[in-house]
Amino acid sequence: MQHRLIKTGLASLTAVILTIGVAACSSGSPADSSSSGSAISAKRCEENKAAGPITYLSGYQFQSSASILEYVAASKLGYFSDLCLTVQLKPGSGDTAQNTKLLASGQATVSAIAQQDLIQARANGIDIEGISSYSNAGLDILMTNPGITDLTQLDGQVVGHKGYVPASVEAMMVKAGVDWNSLKLVKEGYDPSVLPRKQDGLAALTGFISNEPNQLKAAGDKVTVWQPVKYGIPSSLGAMAVNPAFAKAHPTAVQDILRAALHAYDYCSASEANTEKCVGFAADLSGGATYDKKLNATIWKTETQVVADNPTHGQPLGGMDPANVTKLVDMLHQFQIVPDTVTGDQAAKWFDNSYITAIYSGDTLIWPAP
């Protein structure tokens, strides 16, 4: 079995710090800002100002994904400024392990970290805290050519991956009855056309629901997408984590970071024109010319649709499901990703729903802030 493991790496960590430092973007010049602090009381404004500069670190560059695009938009639309927050946007490299380390060290304040990755980080002694998640569904999927109508048809076949098979995908296949030990696992690059071309004899390929299937569809290639959530496999989408020391010292700032991002999530999802505008913000931060706006708009629409199709039971948007944390721990035990000494009850303490519950009245986001 192959899994992504969170490990230390001082040289690569330093490289990431240097990279994101060069690419940092401040929220000091919003595109559509009202006056600073206009959506907040004077007292709360002072509390948020006392938090000082806040560093948001994305999961992967400024791709228009849930947990990224709404933070870019909150900056550019002036929502952070409205709440007296000074937020710097920094693009992550896609290396979750590095993000967890930057967050724990205080070099990032908030970052997009999947719940399963947070559990793994905490099991390895990396001190970060989960503060929100949009859904128990995840982005990891398996793609097959149309001839595969049952996952057990993959027995003895070649399955491609990008360095490891995500635990949720493996759990789905095992639950579906696939003979895991019969598979030939091969590492492929980032070109999804290897699947329809059947390169290396591929019968299946891992990917992300908002990325590779959309690329293949645009190219006229047909594939079948298999989602772990449809097999009852736990995951998370759009999950966020915070540096615990910062959260303890500045709880209203953490609440209002989420408040501004969720307000922007609604804005970017409200219409085609709004989505286009938000994607334009991300394109500008990414250098513009090489940023595929059409694909990124599709990424945003796909991920927000997954969220809409798989709402977190009993929670407003952003609220976390404690039962999902327990299920994730069980899955991580199943594949020996975290030790058995990590319990569901223990892992539940690594997530704090209070920041989300504080910014809602029922299912309605409170905007402006008190």
Per-residue pLDDT of the chain (370 residues; tens, 9 = 90+): 333 333 333 333 333 333 333 344 444 434 444 456 677 999 999 999 999 999 999 999 999 999 999 999 999 999 999 999 999 999 999 999 999 999 999 999 999 999 999 999 999 999 999 999 999 999 999 999 999 999 999 999 999 999 999 999 999 999 999 999 999 999 998 999 999 999 999 999 999 999 999 999 999 999 999 999 999 999 999 999 999 999 999 999 999 999 999 999 999 999 999 999 999 999 999 987 899 999 999 999 999 999 999 999 999 999 999 999 999 999 999 999 999 999 999 999 999 999 999 999 999 999 989 8
- For the chain, where do the domains classified as CATH 3.40.190.10 start and end? 10-137+236-365, 140-231
pTM of structure: 0.89
Contact assessment for residue 351 and residue 130, using Cβ atoms and an 8 Å cutoff:
yes
Q: What CATH superfamily classification does 10-137+236-365 receive?
A: Periplasmic binding protein-like II (3.40.190.10)
Long-range pairs for 43-47: beta carbons < 8 A, 24 or more residues apart = 44/83, 44/84, 44/252, 44/256, 44/369, 44/370, 45/83, 45/84, 46/84, 47/250, 47/252, 47/253
Class of domain 140-231: alpha beta
